[in-house]
Structure 1
Amino acid sequence: MNRMFRSGLLALLLLAALAFYHFSLHPAAALMPIAPVRTLSSRVLLVPLDSRPPCRQHVVDLGRIGGIDVVPPPNECMDYYSQPGDTAAMRDWLMQEARPGDSVIISIDQLLFGGLLAAREQAAPPARQDALVAYLRAFRTAHPEVPVYAFSILPRLTPQDTIDGYDERRALIAYSRLVGKRAAGLTIDDSELAALRAKISDESLATYEAHFRENAELNEKLVALTKDGTLTRLVLGQDDGEPYGIPNIEKSSIQLTINELGLTDKQCFLTHGADEIAQTLLAAYVCERHDYHPRIAVTAADPGAKTRVMPYMAVDCATVAEEKIRLLGGTLANEEEDADLTLFLSANDSDEDSLDTRQAAVNYFAQKLGDANETTHEKRSNADGTAHEKSGAAHAAASSSSPPPPIALVDLSKHFDAAEPLLPLLIGRDIPLPRLAAYAGWNTTSNAIGTALAATAIREACAHDALTPDEARALAAESVRFLQNRILEDYFYLKADIDPINHALKKAGYTNTADLDLEHNHRWATQMLQQKLAQQTTIYKHTKSLRAPFPVPQAGEQLAIYDLHTDASFPWPRTFEIYLETTPYFALMK
């Protein structure tokens, strides 16, 4: 039984014990069931990076928080894993579907290649690029009043799958890193570089380098389209970045071009990440519509969290956060007291002994969000047996209809292990999770931070409007639904459930859980996923953390979740991500 499997089992047993304690000894308060529905008053057409939920469904869900009908293409146009999308059909759909009053968010990789995986493998000769440029100009001519927010992803350092020799791929990666270091002005060992070059065939190196050259040419054309107004805004993302490599050379070059053309952040922006960019662009669009430009504080209990470089990242957590804040149109606040909202970073690494800092993080959230059980001056025991007294401020956050400060929690794990995140400790302390503005703990830092900030910014931008009680309830309900979706996937599935599921698949004969045969085993694999997640949901939904009331200040009342259902499946033939539909059932507190 490996480490991650043991961690998932321990997490399940812990939550089962908590659920028994809370559900048996703390009966729920009287509730009045309601079903708030958000009115969708505008449309955004979305050409997603690919068909995975973070790139498509999350954007649709965030749109509902913002009162926006996000319309993705028909399924028959979309990619499916290694099968590219139908780019011609996608372009026809977008041209025909757009109408006055719409805005569009476009993935260049989808329109040009048919998705991110296809973009990693296919070539983009000048004629193919020019055909896309002509299409974008034609779209602008046909729909001059429709804003076009486009994004494109720089190639990652990892070689294309067509270069399939194990030793040659390893040599290419090491070679790319050394070339990147030399380009950054660092001293490298020329003999090591030559030895690596000798292991790489001329054909493979030409294929690898051509990919970056073609992408650089494409980005130059996209920047020019932004300069002349064909594109309203362009975001260039760095996929699975590293501190040094040939991708960073391309990134530096395109940044120089942007600077020389005098383009602003609102016109052209470079960022780390890929999957979350459409979410962040939607949030920037919502903030702009509501004239909401948040001051955002970034804080952490662990002094090393901000400067820690997590897996698949070229920069530390604080740098990623600052980028996403600027992309949203916000500014970085030095202190929480001066901020409109707070991003709390938990980025734990058991190898660096950072787990002990989680208790300070729990105390932070107890102070900011309150406690699901206590009243003023009540005492209870901490996990270490010491008594503490709840402050009046924390009690006010817990029991009144006044809003707690908007805090988004990014809960990262260096080893993608259920023993590292903060969430189970918050549940153990009865921290009222529905009072969080957002939660994200996806395996990639840029994805998690971008998602959490997007959800929070959209919620807060809309909350500043004059809302009727029905609108306020619907806004709160959609925000909490997205929050629970992220908790159940990013922690319960990705940290606690995925390893036991992979273990069961391997026992059944799968040697590669990233290449499942869902044509013949979809029902069995999906049933196993649903059963595992249903077990977690049954335990979680009986905790005081989930059932704690949360305020709807515009309506002067409180809501609570009295039940929670989930439906899950594998969107692609691999276990790395799931399609998850979380349905919380809400009630007014009597």
Structure 2
Amino acid sequence: MKINHIASLVNFILISLIVLLGLQFQTQVGYAETNATSDNAKAQKQDNAQAQNQTETKPQPRLLVVPLDNRPANTYYPKKVGQAGGVEVILPPQNLINHQTASDTLDQLSAWILENSDDVDGFIISADMLTDGGLVDSRTSKQTTDGALQQLQIIKALKEKYPTKPLYVYDTIQRLAPTVLKDGNLEKYNLIRDWAITYDEVKNLNKISQTTKLIQLETKIGSNLIDEYKQIRARNNTINATLIDWTKQGYIDYLVLGQDDANQTGLHREEHENLIQKINSSNIQHKVSVFDGADEVDVILVSRFLSTLKNYQTSFKIHYLGVSGTEWISPFDHYTLQTNIAKHVIAAGGIIASPSQQANIEVYVNTPNTLAKNNDAMQNLLSTNIEKNDEATVSINDEVSQAVAEIKRQIANGKHVVFIDVEKVNQANQAYGDAIINDIGITNLLSYSAFNTAGNAIGTAIGHANSRFLYLEKGPQTPDIDERAAKGHIEFLLNSISSDHIYRNKVAPKTEWYVRYIGGNAWDIGPMKKSVLFFTNEQFNKEFDLLHAKVKGSKVLLSKKTGSTAEIENFSIQKIDMPWNRLFEIEFDFGVNLKDRNEK
């Protein structure tokens, strides 16, 4: 008893010390919310002043983006991708796009859009944000159909006021399950998702053998929750259909309907098919894209804006490192991988090159070795308990070595190369990730992504690659803007390799262990956020030194037209955060310094 008592006391002291260190770290290093806010405000003022000076020299295109929500994928990503392409992305204030935004702020958001509409050259608008305050609340019954349609009227108002400005809108086809923000939601998530799939298979696809399972699920879930779920789906489907009508009527220049996490069967399937039929019967296939994925759409439409601005269709050639995309449907998706890639490329303003054609951009896609691999990826998507890569995966085996050699050869021959990793949901292949840092060089790629689902990774990488390509090939403006665009490009590459590979494979498992150790919840770290961020920062810093050593001194192309280059002098981590107070999202913000600009 005495020994146990002493051990407990020692554990208590250790945990208390870590928490206190975390609090001290917050105050001294800048992770305290007050200091971070102050620093961010200063940085924003500097960015605004720099942008203003650049605009006075030669105006940059300005694009107003109303994002899906305030997660990094929908705010930081489009802003940095826009910067890499020479576009200034204007986002609403944080209080108007917070994922817990109250309904009375929706009118304030519309007012903000109108107030800033004169000063921009185009619009990207998330219907989910306009109607519900973001993706999470769009899956709830807080908003009525009539209320949602009323909030969307700002779209018509914008097009009537600015008929020549590009207006892109996107909406989600509702996923099969509710949002997971706490551990307690996991059972509800799995039950409703399973019911929605089983219901479609029994009622619409006549799989009678599943009837008993359907009855059991309905009994466990309850009729009230099922009825509410159906009503929410019906409301969101009405909004999808209305936006198609408005596209036909000319209020929307381009519409994306992103299928949120789904399956080959489920209640979404019939909705999806009916929407496609409506698009085809309206003869607006060239103005609407429907694909698997939602979080990447902001980046895709930034790319499309640049393609329209430059009047150029970038060509992409696809290479599979594993099973062919013609055969494989990735987890949570509806289309084959090849079809989903093509749909993203077209929405981004590009085209797919045939194997025999020359292409502007070479895209390498890491897929599973077999069709059966990773078909049941639910737990990997929901959990931060990342599975360990076995030795065969981590080691640089023959397949990885050959792929790395091929990519390096393409780069040496002056090709633009993109690497997309969709082998596993929400986790990069560690061997490829390490090879990109140590051998290929992350800054030698045009883009890299292993973000979340296959659709998310595809759209993020394609949108970023096309935006940067168009700037290099079509858009040099002034030396200052060239440098700012290059910094945005490198900072986004560093973010991608850090969040998708380093964090997921090397830091997140340790952070999850730490959260469990101090009695916390990986889906709600709020009360312990300061100490969790301190621990995460300490773990990431162990990997940062290697990344910095590999990237420092790398050459960066500023302008292909002038041939000017610069060298990466150094870079720093300006911010690490978990904006939704859960381990699932990590936000990195890097600051890059360049030197030795060389004009050829």
Normalising to structure 2: TM-score of the pair?
0.79
Secondary structure class of the residue paired with 2:256: strand
2:496 paired residue number: 486
1:570 paired residue number: 578
- Structure 2 vs 1, CA of residues 91 and 414 (structure 1 numbering), >3 Å: closer, same or farther? same
1:340-419 alignment to 2 at 5 Å?
340-348=360-368, 352=373, 355=393, 356=397, 357-369=399-411, 394=412, 397=413, 404-414=414-424, 416=426
- State the one-letter code of the partner of 2:280: N
Within 2, Cα distance between the matches of 1:306 and 1:174? 27
- Contact 2:62–2:119 at 8 Å: present in 1 too? no
Correspondence 1:587 to 2:595: yes
- Contact 1:168–1:199 at 8 Å: present in 2 too? no
- Structure 2 vs 1, CA of residues 290 and 84 (structure 1 numbering), >3 Å: closer, same or farther? same
1:478-517 alignment to 2 at 5 Å?
478-510=488-520, 512-517=521-526
Q: Which moved more, 1:36-45 or 1:575-584?
A: 36-45
Within 2, Cα distance between the matches of 1:481 and 1:73? 22
1:333 paired residue number: 353
Q: Which moved more, 1:123-132 or 1:42-51?
A: 123-132
Q: Which moved more, 1:414-423 or 1:225-234?
A: 414-423
Q: Which moved more, 1:417-426 or 1:52-61?
A: 417-426
Secondary structure class of the residue paired with 1:94: helix
1:259 paired residue number: 280
- Equivalent residue for 2:290, pick from 270, 277, 281: 270
Correspondence 1:221 to 2:227: no
- Structure 1 residue 589: deviation in Å? 7.6
- Structure 2 vs 1, CA of residues 244 and 533 (structure 1 numbering), >3 Å: closer, same or farther? same
- Structure 1 residue 502: deviation in Å? 1.4
Correspondence 1:451 to 2:460: yes
- Structure 1 residue 148: deviation in Å? 2.1
1:69-468 alignment to 2 at 5 Å?
69-80=88-99, 86-99=105-118, 101-159=120-178, 170-181=190-201, 185=205, 187-189=207-209, 191-192=211-212, 193-265=214-286, 267-304=287-324, 307-335=327-355, 338-348=358-368, 352=373, 355=393, 356=397, 357-369=399-411, 394=412, 397=413, 404-414=414-424, 416=426, 420-428=430-438, 430-465=439-474, 467=476
- Structure 2 vs 1, CA of residues 438 and 168 (structure 1 numbering), >3 Å: closer, same or farther? closer
- State the one-letter code of the partner of 2:580: W
Among all aligned residue pairs of Structure 1 and Structure 2, give the percentage whose two residues are the same amino acid: 21
Secondary structure class of the residue paired with 1:300: strand
Unaligned runs of at least 5 residues, structure 2: 1-46, 374-389
- Contact 1:109–1:116 at 8 Å: present in 2 too? yes
- Equivalent residue for 1:528, pick from 515, 535, 538: 535
Within 2, Cα distance between the matches of 1:579 and 1:76? 18
Correspondence 1:57 to 2:76: yes
- Contact 2:427–2:451 at 8 Å: present in 1 too? no
Within 1, Cα distance between the matches of 2:149 and 2:597? 59
- Structure 1 residue 409: deviation in Å? 0.7
- State the one-letter code of the partner of 2:308: E
Secondary structure class of the residue paired with 1:234: strand
Within 2, Cα distance between the matches of 1:47 and 1:205? 31
Within 2, Cα distance between the matches of 1:509 and 1:182? 42
What's the C-alpha RMSD, in Å, of the aligned pairs? 3.1
1:5 paired residue number: none
Aligned residues: 517
2:44 paired residue number: none
- Contact 1:324–1:449 at 8 Å: present in 2 too? yes
Q: Which moved more, 1:549-558 or 1:152-161?
A: 549-558
- Contact 1:440–1:486 at 8 Å: present in 2 too? yes
- Equivalent residue for 1:556, pick from 538, 563, 576: 563
- Contact 1:298–1:344 at 8 Å: present in 2 too? yes
Q: Which moved more, 1:313-322 or 1:284-293?
A: 313-322
- Structure 1 residue 551: deviation in Å? 4.4
Cα offsets for 1:147-185 (capped at 9, x unmatched):
3211111111114789x8987765543332133345775
Q: Which has the higher contact order (CA 8 A, sep 6+)?
A: 1
- Structure 1 residue 416: deviation in Å? 4.8
- Structure 1 residue 282: deviation in Å? 1.0
Within 1, Cα distance between the matches of 2:532 and 2:188? 35
Cα offsets for 1:187-241 (capped at 9, x unmatched):
4425334454454432222112112111111122111111112222221111112
Secondary structure class of the residue paired with 1:514: coil
Secondary structure class of the residue paired with 2:68: coil
- Structure 1 residue 130: deviation in Å? 3.2
Cα offsets for 1:404-450 (capped at 9, x unmatched):
2111111234265566451212344x323312101111121111111
- Contact 1:113–1:122 at 8 Å: present in 2 too? no
Within 2, Cα distance between the matches of 1:421 and 1:241? 29
- Structure 2 vs 1, CA of residues 100 and 588 (structure 1 numbering), >3 Å: closer, same or farther? closer
- State the one-letter code of the partner of 1:111: L
- Structure 1 residue 140: deviation in Å? 3.3
Within 1, Cα distance between the matches of 2:429 and 2:120? 48
- Contact 1:348–1:420 at 8 Å: present in 2 too? no
- State the one-letter code of the partner of 2:362: T
- Structure 2 vs 1, CA of residues 514 and 107 (structure 1 numbering), >3 Å: closer, same or farther? same
Within 1, Cα distance between the matches of 2:186 and 2:86? 49
Within 2, Cα distance between the matches of 1:340 and 1:166? 44
Within 1, Cα distance between the matches of 2:117 and 2:171? 21
- Contact 1:85–1:110 at 8 Å: present in 2 too? no
Q: Which has the higher helix share?
A: 2
Secondary structure class of the residue paired with 2:549: coil
Within 2, Cα distance between the matches of 1:537 and 1:523? 20
Within 1, Cα distance between the matches of 2:354 and 2:104? 44
Secondary structure class of the residue paired with 2:321: coil
Within 2, Cα distance between the matches of 1:299 and 1:98? 41
Within 2, Cα distance between the matches of 1:43 and 1:589? 26
Unaligned runs of at least 5 residues, structure 1: 1-34, 370-393, 398-403
Within 1, Cα distance between the matches of 2:356 and 2:445? 15
Within 2, Cα distance between the matches of 1:546 and 1:439? 18
Secondary structure class of the residue paired with 1:561: strand
